Structure 1
Amino acid sequence: MVEKARILDQSAMGRAIARISFEIVERNKGVDNLCLVGIMNGGVDIAHRIARKIGEIEGKPVEVGKLDITPCRDDGSKSTQDRSDIPFAIEGKRVVLVDDVIYTGRSVRAAIDALMSRGRPQSIQLAALVDRGHRELPLRPDYIGKNVPTSSHEVVQVKTIERDGVDAVTICAPSEEVDG
């Protein structure tokens, strides 16, 4: 993969996360009965950052969990081992699912299935740092950091300081596309 463009740097990611956080607080009229669940792996760091920002805004902590969707995937890469860590009940709560990139919608569908197997939330909302389009399922995020039109052969990479040592969102292409 070869980087074609950097679409978000550290400060732009910070602004996008702050905007998403304010929108979540506004739409939910505060944080009572609200929790965040990051979709592993990319959504977990973003969910923790949104929770920290919401905590700064509201002066109250927001519970955060991480959700392993591999047991619910529909692409043959299922796993029987569930590495989720949601240390609170979701029953009756307003859950904000958080992912780094939304593309076809299949990961979100798997996440909803995985979440619903743990209880019945009052509502499920979706936050994505990047929406790159190309949906195959009728799913749309409630909160979007940045819309990025891409071609289907491009890849959007989200790097976080926690995982990669740098904050960046880039569009990459297969090296043969750049060479040819």
Structure 2
Amino acid sequence: MKDIILAHKQITHIIKRIAYQVYEDNISEQELIVAGVRGEGFILAQLITEQLQEISDLKIQLLAIEMDKKNPIEKDIVLNPELNSRDLNQKSVVVIDDVLNSGSTLLFSLKPFLKQPMRQIKTAVLVNRNHKKYPVKADFKGISLSTSSHEIVRVSLDRDSFQVVLE
């Protein structure tokens, strides 16, 4: 059985709210790096970036984090486009994914950013679940959802039909 947790209009509102929160947190910055985990996380990062560009004058660099979510230890985690460590020096970064489950994806997605000191790294997710195995938190979140460990949260961010479903 599928339960719709969030529909298009609600997700659109959440994206705007997260964009405002990110902007307020970076109001004194000139530049911001927004990095989305490939898949729905990257689409969410694109949507938040679009909103940020509407409400602010921040120079935003959008990156995709390419990683094997099932096996993040064995395979390289790559930023696309690639940045050298100077590009990260003293910058503010927001790492975005669709769902925070155990925390492993967000934890490993931070690895490419740890080569230089940055001003700050924050995380944003659409859905924050309460099944964390790692000490990772979402600084900006759409909703927090208490579910059983066997339930699955699916996010679909097709341009004209956003939804979050619990299976």
TM-score by length of 1: 0.81
Secondary structure at 2:161 match in 1:
coil
Q: What is the match of residue 120 of structure 2?
A: 123
Equivalent in 42, 45, 52 of residue 44 of structure 1 = 42
Q: Which amino acid counterpart does residue 53 of structure 2 have in structure 1?
A: G
Q: Distance in 1 between matches of 2:126 and 2:145?
A: 10
Identity of aligned residues (%): 23
Q: Are 1:150 and 2:151 matched, yes or no?
A: no
Q: Distance in 2 between matches of 1:108 and 1:7?
A: 22
Q: What is the match of residue 135 of structure 1?
A: 132
TM-score by length of 2: 0.87
Q: What is the match of residue 24 of structure 1?
A: 22
Bigger CA radius of gyration: 1
Task: Name structure 1 gaps, 5 residues minimum.
Answer: 173-180
Q: What is the match of residue 70 of structure 1?
A: 68
2:31–2:58 Cα contact (<8 Å) kept: no
Equivalent in 153, 160, 163 of residue 168 of structure 1 = 163
Question: 1:120 Cα shift?
Answer: 3.5
Question: 1:166 Cα shift?
Answer: 2.8
- C-alpha spacing 1:32/1:59, structure 2 compared with 1 (3 Å): closer
Q: Which amino acid counterpart does residue 152 of structure 1 have in structure 2?
A: S
Equivalent in 17, 33, 57 of residue 35 of structure 1 = 33
Higher strand proportion (structure 1 or 2):
2
Q: Which amino acid counterpart does residue 153 of structure 2 have in structure 1?
A: V
Q: What is the match of residue 4 of structure 2?
A: 6
Q: What is the match of residue 86 of structure 1?
A: 81
Higher helix proportion (structure 1 or 2):
1
Q: Deviations over 1:108-166 (max 9, x none)?
A: 1111113325x44221100001101111111111100111111100110000115xx63
Q: Deviations over 1:11-58 (max 9, x none)?
A: 111001111000111122255231100012221000011011011011
For these two proteins, the number of residue pairs brought into alignment is: 163
Question: 1:106 Cα shift?
Answer: 0.7
Root-mean-square deviation (CA), in Å?
2.1
1:161–1:167 Cα contact (<8 Å) kept: yes
- Deviation larger for 25-34 or 43-52: 25-34
